Amino acid sequence: MTAEKVISGLVERGVPQHIAIGIAGNIAVESGFNPGINEIAPLVPGSRGGYGLYQVTGPRRKQYEQFAQARGTNLDDID
């Protein structure tokens, strides 16, 4: 995964380029562009930690997992 792929994917979906660049900058810090990364040492006791490009956690992670399952896709599918 690269910054260019993330930026172009967001722009294709209607996100203005300058916003897509900002999102890509955040993704670089959160996951290093690894869509399958799981937080190694979660700060919240008992938490599974953040997952994916933007390290989704807590109830949003559960919703993300349900969404992927409903679509029949893997969690690391960036589309």
Q: What is the pLDDT of residues 6-22, one digit of tens each?
A: 999 999 999 999 999 99
Q: Give me the residue label for tokens 């109830």.
A: 59
- What integer pLDDT is reported at residue 78 of this predicted model? 87
- What integer pLDDT is reported at residue 42 of this predicted model? 82
Q: Give me the residue label for tokens 């599918």.
A: 77
- Give the count of alpha carbons within 13 A of 73, CB side only: 11
Judge whether 50 and 42 are in contact, CB under 8 Å. yes
Q: What is the pLDDT of residues 20-73, one digit of tens each?
A: 999 999 999 999 999 999 988 888 777 888 999 989 998 899 999 999 999 999
Residue 79, pLDDT above cutoff 90: no
